[in-house]
Amino acid sequence: MLEKPVAESPWWRSLSNPRLLGTRLSSNVELLINFIVVVATIVFILSQGSGFGIRIAQLFAIFAILAVSLNLVIGYTGLLSLAHVAFFGVGAYSVAILTTDAAYEQVPGHIPHFGLSFFTALFVGMAITGVVALFVGGVLSRFRDDIFVLVSVGFAVISHRIFLFWQPVTRGPFGIHAIAKPEVGGMVIDSRLEFLFLTLAFLVIVFLISWLIVRSSFGRVLMAIREDEQAIEVFGYKARYFKLTIWVISAMMAALAGGITASEQTFIDPQSFVLLESILLVTIVILGGLGTLWGSLLGALVFVLLNEGMRFVPFLPGELIGQARLAILGIVIVLLMLFRPQGLVGRFKL
């Protein structure tokens, strides 16, 4: 005879249990602090009214979308993927190519002329990325653990080579210029501040969708797969189906970030989608915390502030800033793994 499930205790019953009350209060306080830190930082940056401040906020929003989407795969499902930058690149190139029209100066060769609007190209690019992710995920789902990581690295490297050498479509090392800006109601979103608000709106949508996923029964199955995939198979769940589904959703979110980045910068080239970018994205997720969406936001914020803050170190020569950023970020990660391996607000270790 099956035992009757135990219902979750309502909040008021925790008042009689000091340990449960302390856990709830600690979790709520931690969540509130993270929210206040993220919002206060964004408000402060925007209140400065400077182009640099807006640029910082724009970078945060893009990295936050990428980190939240990647956390769905790494933190909630337990799949350590280094292929996220490939989907980021597919989304960026899709928007760049699909918005190109006949007035574009072609050097060298010829790329197709579609002339689609930004939003149409963005959603088509996400669909294209979803198809690519479905194919790649079907291959990757055959592997586990270390082999899965290695194959994902291989896909990231292959995608970069395609961006670099498929010149009739991507223009290779020359990149694609004059990428179209979004239009809303016949008005072109051209200013940095307007584009930032658009990006933040997309970030809110991505965050809410991710939150609904992890709070649903589908999300609970993902977390069960992370803990013990074989056990979840015993109960009749097809783990491969769940992993492939969240893989495709995560990839389409990365493509969204790629399309926004391409339009905001109006130029892309293959060097923006190297393997190192995937490693940095994984670092952001670990920094914020695995299995927590708020941690992804906080990790993106800390990463951007550390990365861009290096510009203001007075004794550091300009030519060494790039190397110093990576070195300091590496030191931060080492210290984090030593003293708080679950990340700033995470609950699980890698």
Residue-wise pLDDT for 280-298, tens only, equals 899 899 888 888 898 899 8
Mean pLDDT over 312-335 rounds to 69
Distance CA 177, CA 265 (A): 9
* pLDDT higher than threshold 70 for residue 222: yes
* pLDDT higher than threshold 60 for residue 332: yes
Whether 78 contacts 225, CB under 8 Å:
yes
**Residue 90 DSSP SS3:** helix
- Band of the pLDDT at 39, cuts 50, 70, 90? low
Length of the chain in terms of residues written? 350
176 DSSP β-pair partners = 268
Structural domains for the chain: 54-306+335-339 (1.10.3470)
Strands (E), 50-166: none
Query: What global pTM score does this model have?
Result: 0.84
**Residue 274 DSSP SS3:** coil
Residue-wise pLDDT for 95-109, tens only, equals 999 987 644 444 444
Whether 161 contacts 154, CB under 8 Å:
no
Which amino acid is it at 178?
Answer: A
- Could you tell me which residue, 172 or 329, shows the higher pLDDT? 172
- Band of the pLDDT at 188, cuts 50, 70, 90? confident
Distance CA 236, CA 230 (A): 10
Residue-wise pLDDT for 136-146, tens only, equals 998 888 887 78
Is the bond into 182 cis (omega within 30 degrees of 0)? Answer: no
What mean pLDDT value characterizes the chain? 81
Distance CA 83, CA 151 (A): 9
pLDDT of residue 84: 95
* Phi, psi (degrees; rounded to nearest 5) at 182: -70, 155
pLDDT of residue 20: 42
- Band of the pLDDT at 308, cuts 50, 70, 90? confident
pLDDT of residue 331: 81
User: Residue 69: is it exposed, middle or buried by C-beta count within 10 angstroms (0-12/13-18/19+)?
Assistant: buried
